[in-house]
Amino acid sequence: MSHDISSLRKFVSPEIVFGAGSRRSVANFAANFGARHVFLVSDPGVKAAGWVHEIEQLLAESGLESTTFTAISPNPKVDEVMAGAEQYLANQCDVIVAIGGGSPMDCAKGIGIVATHGRSILEFEGVDTITNPPPPLILIPTTAGTSADVSQFAIISDPDRRFKFSIISKAVVPDVSLIDPEVTETMGSYLTACTGVDALVHAIEAFVSTGSGPLTDTHALEAIRLINRNLEPLVANPSDPVLREQIMLASMQAGLAFSNAILGAVHAMSHSLGGFLDLPHGLCNALLLEHVVGYNFASAEDRFRRVAEAMDIDTRGMANALVKKRLMSRIISLKKTLGLEARLNELGVSVSDIPYLSGYALKDPCILTNPRKSSLRDVQVVYEEAL
């Protein structure tokens, strides 16, 4: 009997502890990894919210030393990763814990890579470039959307190129992810909206990706349903713990989907755009989403029909052209409700920037699993439509 190995799928995931209070088990997990000195990575905003101090206390109460590094900007930069790795080594740390959004978590992944290789983080751009196992990594997400806490992606910004580059490897999948909805309570409505749409894009792109399959599809569709039904009410009522939990669950499932199915043109173009203007990643995704859906639709009509159904659109008896129209309309109305309906030109992008942005978007690994093969001109046209 012959077997088609092209149909084989792998699925990577950290050990996940989900639920209110899960962050409090951080010291136990660190001790299980044999930690003596923990390197705690976060950012000034999370520190100001009080979460860093709580983790420091939990570690200290268990007899673990810790060094805290919070010199991280919203899009973690090459020099921040390198500075963090230097501090990690100088303090002879042996386990990394990160608490925060995508920026501290991605920076923590980069710090681990550099600490075990002794080379610039720039040398690890691309897929499967890591040869030495990084130190044990425990992540505690404080936002519901980036999914860095479950993914095999690390996104780092290179200011010299004004470009965000991707590191994709199962080596950066954390060992443990403590997904605690309670720590998202300090997010404001705008950040909740941005990260929620980021998770929606993760789920949609994973479902229509050429790398999708049965191991990722169920996670992607459930994430779409949860976000479609709960994100708008959450932004209107940010203190609702039930809604927080639903969006946190959606973010986790979207992350498991895209980490294994990879993404598409929205993320390729968003990475280029975010690196160019240093914009929030979720906002960049939001500005591009319906334009990329319109571009891709004909190449994955059946898949986009299922996306529409997951967004509570009744597609029975509906021609594909109308499904496309209704799906794009729902995305636009969601963005409008969330206050994410800006155009690229309002954020400082001009027509003369589009060739630069498009060139970097085509180099991004996410473009490879987009359902429609993209040329330079195709990407330029989508940017122009979003302008």
List the domains of the chain with CATH numbers: 15-184 (3.40.50.1970), 187-386 (1.20.1090.10)
Work out the mean pLDDT of the chain and round it to a whole number.
94
What gap in Å lies between CA 134 and CA 132, rounded to an integer? 6
Is the pLDDT at 236 greater than 90? The verdict is: yes
What gap in Å lies between CA 352 and CA 102, rounded to an integer? 30
Angle at CA of residue 101, ends 164 and 147, nearest 5°: 80
The pLDDT > 90 percentage for the chain reads 89
What gap in Å lies between CA 91 and CA 79, rounded to an integer? 18
Is the pLDDT at 57 greater than 60? The verdict is: yes
Is the pLDDT at 77 greater than 60? The verdict is: yes
Over residues 211-226, mean pLDDT: 97
> Binning pLDDT at 50, 70 and 90, where does residue 74 land?
confident
Over residues 166-191, mean pLDDT: 94
Over residues 337-349, mean pLDDT: 90
Is the pLDDT at 6 greater than 60? The verdict is: no
Is the pLDDT at 187 greater than 90? The verdict is: no
Give the pLDDT confidence of 303-324 residue by residue, as tens digits.
999 999 999 999 999 999 999 9
Which pLDDT belongs to residue 1?
43
Coil, strand, or helix at residue 162? Answer: coil
> What is the phi/psi pair of residue 64, to 5°?
-105, 130
Question: Regarding predicted confidence, which is higher, 273 or 41?
Answer: 41
- For residues 181 and 244, the answer to whether their CB atoms sit within 8 Å is yes
Query: Using the 8-state DSSP alphabet, how is residue 263 labeled?
Result: -
Which pLDDT belongs to residue 277?
84
Is the pLDDT at 5 greater than 80? The verdict is: no
- b vs e for 350-362, b when ≥16 Cβ sit within 10 Å of the residue's Cβ? eeebbeebbebbb
- What pTM was estimated for this model as a whole? 0.94
Which pLDDT belongs to residue 2?
46
- b vs e for 259-269, b when ≥16 Cβ sit within 10 Å of the residue's Cβ? bbbbbbbbbbb
Coil, strand, or helix at residue 28? Answer: helix
* Assigned token pair, 343: 């155009």
- Closest C-alpha to 370, from 280, 269, 224, 250: 269
